[in-house]
Amino acid sequence: MIRGSAIAGLLRHFLLTLRLNIRSTQALVYGYLVPVFFLLAFGSVFRADTPPLLSQVGQLLTITILGGACFGLPTGLVAERERGVWRRYRLLPVPTGGLLAGTLLARLVIVASAVLLQLGLARLIYGTPLPLHPMQGIAAYFVVAFAFLGLGLLVAALAGDVPAVQALGQCLFLPMIMIGGVGVPLSALPIWAQRLAGFMPGRYAVDVLQRCANDPRGLAGAGFSLIALLVIGAAAGIAGNKLFRWDAGRRAGRRELAWAGVALLAWLAVGCAALATGRLKSVLPPGGGYGTITDAQMESITYDDLTGDNELVTRLAPPFNPAQRPAFAAEFAAKLRDWPPGRVADAAQRVRHLLSVAAIADISADLHEAEIGRVVFEELQLRVDPERLRLVLAWIILQPDEGRFLTRTPELGLRRQPPEPLVRERSIYYAKKYLGRLLGKIRD
Amino acid sequence: MSSPPPAGIRVRALSKRYGTIAAAQEVSFEVAPGEIFGLLGLNGAGKTTVIECLLGLREPDAGAVEIEGIDARKNPAEARRRVGAQLQFAALQDKITPREALGLFAAFYPAAARPGDLLEQFDLTAKADAPFDSLSGGQRQRLFLALAVVNQPQVLVLDEPTAGLDPRARRELHRLIIAMKSAGRTILLSTHYLEEAHQLCDRIGILHEGRLIATARPADLIAGARATPRLAFRTTQPLAAAAVAALPGVTRHEPMADGWSLSTQDANRTIGALGQLLATGGNEMLDLQIHRPSLEDVFLELTGRAWMETTAEEQR
């Protein structure tokens, strides 16, 4: 049991850690000047965006938290350990874990102050709007900081001296900055790097922070990212605590080093879970349009999750025999030909509207749902040239949240009005079935 | 009949290995209340290992440690509350001030000394708000001594407190250590300096290669030594070796620049005869030094190694 005097001591240690941070030139440079430098660097590139820098807030804050947690925390801890400060602390009548917790808490406050400084300066210099969901933003900050402070603690435990902290910290920092979706946006990365980023916490940190900055839905739908960060943070934190050394002369044994493997396993588990649940889809540049789709992105689309054409959902009739075309198909095709939403100028939106028809028929379990699916496929091929159709379908599959899908088409004889998310989901399935056939990936 | 008070520190058959190296082997000693016990040994002798096991910083492989009757292995937190320590390899943050450091450490104890009083007692008031990295070596060590007594312990463990200090700072620290003993504290002091051990310690334990090879009062250790007094003298004219060897009591003689160094069993008789010899030959004594047997001789006898040579080697 911790006595009252021990609590007073731990509180004093926490406050003193904050005070000493302010007195250290190195801590001020790395903790505040470097984040400001990143802000100015991002500002020089994205200041012309509307609104300026808002779409980069997630990346900017992730860099700040990552730097503070993976460099600031272990550098301070290891420098103190090298000097023998922790050796002296060890003689105090409190568990070392209590002092360590105070140090982590102080770092949480220090990094939060750097984040607030960055947001304030972005608003002041570039007019960047403040985050859309501030309360959710605070929650997201805690989760991201938890993940990165856990990693920082592990770095402190593994590094023998301050130069080793720099080396280990860079091993975490640089990959996340370059190919982890933190420094370079995911959409600008090749497919393999986008997939690899799914195994790193940086991608999830950017996701949750960015959602709080400008996504109207906030953290809704960010469950996986939040859990990924908590898992990675917990594994690293536990490993860091197990491996933590208060004495510079001590070295971890092989059995203890296995804990570092546990921390890495968490990254692997998160990446595999993201891959298995289809979360590592190719990310396209926002507003780039279907014209930006690359061959590699087209190739990254998988078809394993599709059901058979005769199963319950997304049914699709085989190609019609021109000599014996069913009467319903001919009649429905004629209706579709005069249907205004199927004639809009924007090819991507036109395709979405037509996909909605197949999806509504499917969800409504229409008597002719399979034939409607086939008629829609034929109409798409008639109304959009083949190359463009492939690009548009790929775009719709890779950007499932974009565009508008219809939920009501009574003029086509489809009376039911299913919910929009369901129509969107089924439309994407149909898009895959069609694209697979156009690319020869699925036999028709 | 009441039982005698427990020893301030009791170490029984303490052993600790690091891989194949036996850092401490069956080390046993007691430090009585109010006593200064010196732990003397070269680098690597095991002093720091013994002290770290005693303070609970390392887990011994075998043996028992008691602080004021409290089993430090079974009840380390209580033992730690009763002991104050100054560690050899410990420092503070660069920008922390003595006032902050004392305030921080005092906050962990329910009955701590007041930081202001400690600053005054250890002559740090003028530097109370100066950052640690601006303090001199002596001021730092005084601060560490102040930190060691912040919990007002009766038992103090000081690991090489004067290492690396200039003579003046060392004398100042000696004064403080004597003052702490006068206040009734039990002190375990490890040191590199034989003179310091002789001057400060009531008893001394000599550690060599992890074993405690001797424990006694400094005077008793010296009295028990086989070493004899040494004389070193220089003369205006050279003296023949045969004449020096013939002086009464001389057991060994070696030439040195303009003179001789010799060992004698009876310094008074040898010096008297040397005076007569010089007067007879019209020779003059330029200087004469008498070296009584010291702890250095005791160390040489016990370990087979000369203290000065070994410490010089270590420094290199």
Residue B176, domain CATH: 3.40.50.300
B159 in the same domain as B91: yes
**Chain B from 42 to 61: CB within 8 A of any A CB:** 55, 57
Residue A15 lies in a domain: yes
B96 touches chain A (CB under 8 A): yes
Residue B315 lies in a domain: no
A269 in the same domain as A311: no
Residue B242 lies in a domain: yes
Residue A282 lies in a domain: no
Q: Which of A91, A96, A250 to mutate to test the interface with B (most CBs of B within 10 A)?
A: A91
In which residue are the tokens 């060392």 written? B170
pLDDT digits (tens, 9 = 90+) for A135-194: 999 999 999 999 999 999 999 999 988 999 999 999 999 999 999 999 998 888 888 898
A85 in the same domain as A139: yes
Q: Other C-beta atoms within 10 Å of B284: how many?
A: 11
Among A276, A310, A336, the domain boundary falls at A276
- Which strand ranges, in their side-by-side order, compose the sheet holding B186-191? B83-86, B155-159, B186-191, B36-40, B203-208, B211-216
A154 in the same domain as A271: yes
B238 in the same domain as B210: no
B244 in the same domain as B195: no
Residue A28 lies in a domain: yes
Residue B300 lies in a domain: no
B69 in the same domain as B101: yes
What's the predicted TM-score (pTM) here? Answer: 0.74
B207 in the same domain as B72: yes
Residue A368 lies in a domain: yes
B53 to chain A: closest CA residue:
A91
Contacts of B162 (CB under 8 A, 6+ apart): B141, B169, B170, B173, B174, B191, B193, B196
pLDDT the model gives residue B4? 65
Among A241, A276, A311, the domain boundary falls at A276
Residues of A with CB under 8 A from a CB of B: 3-6, 8-9, 11-13, 16, 19-20, 23-24, 80, 83-85, 87-88, 90-94, 247, 249
B288 in the same domain as B175: no
What is the distance of C-alpha A28 from the center of its chain?
30
A316 in the same domain as A178: no
Amino acid symbol at A250:
R
Residue A223 lies in a domain: yes
A430 in the same domain as A371: yes
Residue B186 lies in a domain: yes
B47 in the same domain as B173: yes
A124 in the same domain as A161: yes
Smallest Cβ–Cβ distance between A20 and the set B81, B95, B109 belongs to: B95
A105 in the same domain as A22: yes
Pick out chain A residues at pLDDT < 50. Answer: 1
Nearest to B62 by CA among B11, B108, B21: B11
B188 in the same domain as B142: yes
Among B204, B223, B242, the domain boundary falls at B223
Answer whether A93 sits within 8 Å of B108, measured CB to CB. Answer: yes
A209 in the same domain as A268: yes
- Which strand ranges, in their side-by-side order, compose the sheet holding B230-235? B250-256, B259-264, B230-235, B285-291
Residue B305 lies in a domain: no
B244 in the same domain as B134: no
Answer whether A5 sits within 8 Å of B107, measured CB to CB. Answer: yes
Answer whether B77 sits within 8 Å of A93, measured CB to CB. Answer: yes
Name the β-bridge partners of B263: B230, B252
In 3-state terms, what secondary structure has residue B257? coil
DSSP-derived secondary structure for B10-67 = EEEEEEEEETTEEEEEEEEEEE-TT-EEEEE--TTSSHHHHHHHHHTSS--SEEEEEE
In 3-state terms, what secondary structure has residue A318? coil
B76 touches chain A (CB under 8 A): no
B166 in the same domain as B234: no
Residue B45 lies in a domain: yes
B92 to chain A: closest CA residue:
A85
The full 3-state SS of B166-196, as one line of letters, equals CHHHHHHHHHHHHHHHHCCCEEEEEECCHHH
Answer whether A91 sits within 8 Å of B80, measured CB to CB. Answer: yes
B187 phi/psi in degrees, rounded to 5: -130, 130
**For residues A346 and A340, is the Cβ–Cβ distance under 8 A?**
no
A319 in the same domain as A397: yes
DSSP B127: G
Nearest to B267 by CA among B227, B224, B225, B308: B227
Among B175, B206, B223, the domain boundary falls at B223
The count of structural domains within chain A is 2
Residue B307 lies in a domain: no
Among B181, B208, B223, the domain boundary falls at B223
A160 in the same domain as A84: yes
Pick out chain B residues at pLDDT < 50. Answer: 1, 309, 312-316
B283 in the same domain as B201: no
Residue A444 lies in a domain: no
pLDDT the model gives residue B316? 44
A45 in the same domain as A113: yes
**For residues B156 and B85, is the Cβ–Cβ distance under 8 A?**
yes
pLDDT the model gives residue B57? 87
Residue A284 lies in a domain: no
Range(s) of the domain holding residue A175:
4-276
Residue B311 lies in a domain: no
**Chain B from 140 to 169: CB within 8 A of any A CB:** 147
> In the structure encoding, which two tokens stand for residue B142, read together?
């005084």
Answer whether A92 sits within 8 Å of B85, measured CB to CB. Answer: no
Could you tell me how many CB contacts below 8 A there are between chain A and chain B? 70
Answer whether B110 sits within 8 Å of A93, measured CB to CB. Answer: no
Q: Which of A88, A246, A251, A254 to mutate to test the interface with B (most CBs of B within 10 A)?
A: A88
B216 in the same domain as B76: yes
Angle (deg, nearest 10), helices A369-383 and A327-337: 50
A294 in the same domain as A272: no
The count of structural domains within chain B is 2
- Report the share of chain B in percent with pLDDT over 90: 62
Range(s) of the domain holding residue B137:
9-223
pLDDT digits (tens, 9 = 90+) for A67-89: 999 999 999 999 999 998 998 99
